[in-house]
Amino acid sequence: MFFIQEVAKKHGLPIQKFVVRNDSACGTTIGPILAANAGIRTVDVGIPQWSMHSIRETCGTADVASSIELLKCFWNEFSALDKSLASGDVPETSSK
């Protein structure tokens, strides 16, 4: 989640975090199932829709546009951010 947060912060893109406790019953997506079995770092990212969530969790057209922009920025910047963390450097985006 850290990587997504840093990219969103750097570009002024909105995100909303939601975490389900392990001991709480809740519907889920395939993301956590794949993450548990993949053996790689993962984060389940998406926007809610009526077909998968309640009416209190719906998306609008601006959510689609900001999600596309967030994923484009993440794709373009992940490698550099990951390398900066592996080297022990504090990424520039963390200080903002």
DSSP3 helix / strand / coil % (the chain, rounded to 5): 50, 0, 50
Q: What is the pLDDT of residue 9?
A: 92
Spatial contact of 91 and 85, defined as CB atoms under 8 Å apart: yes
Backbone angles phi, psi at 27, to 5 degrees: -65, 160
**Residues contacting residue 83 through CB under 8 Å, at least 6 positions apart:** none
Q: How many residues does the chain have?
A: 96
Closest residue by Cα to residue 66 from 8, 5, 17: 8
- Quote the CA–CA distance of 61 and 23 in Å, as a whole number: 34
For the chain, give every domain's residue range. 2-88
Q: pLDDT for 34-87, tens place per residue?
A: 778 888 888 778 777 766 556 666 778 888 899 999 999 999 988 888 888 776
pTM: 0.65
